[in-house]
Structure 1
């Protein structure tokens, strides 16, 4: 099917057979459907004179090197704008919004053209707040694409229970319960501790994926990064960076919503969100997003302390 990319457990299939990538079991994405994205031609080397590109599908891996088998260091999601640094074959080295520099497959992105981005030419946007939401080709129709929490889509119109949204290269319809409307240029309002806990618990059961940042598969710091992002708090991407951020206040007795940190193979190698009453929620490499206790011997022996970014 032209203009289609499917990710199924264990594989990604691309038309033309380039940028083939094996992903962790359980990661499932449907992305870049031609019916939504205008059926445009796949990106090729002729299109990348622009210094910026946008993510065309649901989620795209960012890799440490432009080659098969390279480590996935993070992910980018629908509509995110990336800065192009250089090209190597079918790969682009990009700087991504979470601060990483890495390599993306050219077929996963579209050239950014001024005025044509998903937030260009509109006054308001929809911030996706559901872990994963379907986008339909028409209001009330079946989902033909997925978007994930944190994606920002231009608002084109409002129907009964639906938002008409602007996508990279096209448009679609998103259920109104899957997002919130904000002015373009404004971030989400700063969430309360209760808001952060409610967002975090939406991820329970999500599988662990190294470098993941979405409810299709996530790692520990990608989890805290995403939960805080949609609650108006910008974190750095990695656990050690979050631990050392100057905005972070060291606290002896964490409150619900604060971050708790642990040692491991690195001095700071794991992070979760404190729930209260000795429990925390985190993306475990063995079990995905789960709840554990701080007094569990494994975590008690590795506990480094808590940091608070919450002022209320």
Structure 2
């Protein structure tokens, strides 16, 4: 395999690869993708087809994937949103799932079997999950289907049309304050630094890559900075080698950090000094998404 190809973004193994990579990589067979969608509230994307394999990221309900192999309960896929490649549980996917019309805009919201909060919920969806809304029943949005259920109901105030992005991605990120840190996570049950950043940007209609090194390379424009960290603004992304945080104002950093195992807000200079002394070293870059 060509060494310059990124494992995280390249659907290629020694035995199998995507057909569009034929001539670029070596593999015993090349296949066309089968389009499917995530039909579970979320699905782990693991590095290997084992439940104890490292969690690289998560795919949310409604997310489109290209499937290259299905075997013994696992599907080898590439996410269409950010190109990430990995293994997801096969039962989390459906080929006939409808295209989402709305996204969950609350931190977390329950799906009910009827338009009543008193009913036992079917599931809980995290911010960014996609659902197909066909109408409203009282205060509830009616879903045409939900997973294996013919229909479902979610509080209408907790969903927003996909065509209506959030105005302030930082405000979205702030919803996750105190959520536990989880390596590879992308839900309100747990997430990591780049998962938090990607989710918040996506809610504002900004498509971005998954990991911090990709974000630092590709997102927005670089912002000049010095040791005094002057000239920064709300929404700037601060990068270290292997870490990223979001400025909520010129002097305050919001980030999912293993130092507290939560999403936390702290003075930027305090975070900079601690990170430089204990973990990722000096700040490597600051970028402004828009």
TM-score, with structure 2 as normaliser? 0.77
Which residues of 2 match residues 241-260 of structure 1 at below 5 A? 241-245=214-218, 247-252=220-225, 253-260=231-238
Residues 194-205 of structure 1: pairs in structure 2 closer than 5 A = 195-205=168-178
Task: Confirm whether residue 290 of structure 1 aligns to residue 264 of structure 2.
Answer: yes
Aligned match of 1:171: 151
Task: Tell whether 2:61 aligns with 1:78.
Answer: yes
In 1, Cα distance between the equivalents of 2:207 and 2:124? 24
Name the SS of the counterpart of 1:303 in structure 2. Answer: coil
Q: 1:92 to 1:275 in 2, by over 3 A?
A: same
Match of 2:91 among 107, 121, 129: 107
CA distance in 2, matches of 1:197, 1:67: 35
Q: CA deviation at 1:251?
A: 4.0
3-state SS, counterpart of residue 199 of structure 1: helix
Residues 276/161 of structure 1: CA separation in 2 closer, same or farther (3 Å cut): same
3-state SS, counterpart of residue 154 of structure 2? strand
Secondary structure of 1:222's aligned partner: helix
Query: What TM-score does the superposition give when structure 1 sets the normalisation length?
Result: 0.72
Q: Which of 37, 40, 48 does residue 65 from structure 1 map onto?
A: 48
Structure 1 residue aligned with 2:104: 128
| Displacement of 1:57 | 1.6
Q: Which runs of 5+ in 1 are unaligned?
A: 1-48, 263-267
Q: Name the counterpart of 1:271.
A: 244
Q: How far has the Cα of 1:101 moved from its partner?
A: 0.7
Deviations along 1:226-258, one digit per CA (max 9) or x if unpaired, are 011001111110101000116333343321011
After the TM superposition, which segments of 4 or more aligned residues of structure 1 sit over 6 Å from their partners?
none
Q: Distance in 2 between matches of 1:235 and 1:277?
A: 22
In the alignment, which residue of structure 2 is the partner of 1:236?
209
> Unaligned 5+ residue runs, structure 2?
1-31, 226-230
Determine the structure 2 residue equivalent to 1:308.
Answer: 288
Query: How far apart are the structure 2 equivalents of 1:228 and 1:50?
Result: 27
- 1:134/1:295 CA distance change after superposition, 3 Å: same
Alpha-carbon distance in structure 2 between the residues aligned to 1:305 and 1:160 = 48
CA RMSD of aligned residues (A): 2.0
Look up the SS of the partner of 1:229 in the other structure.
helix
Aligned length: 242
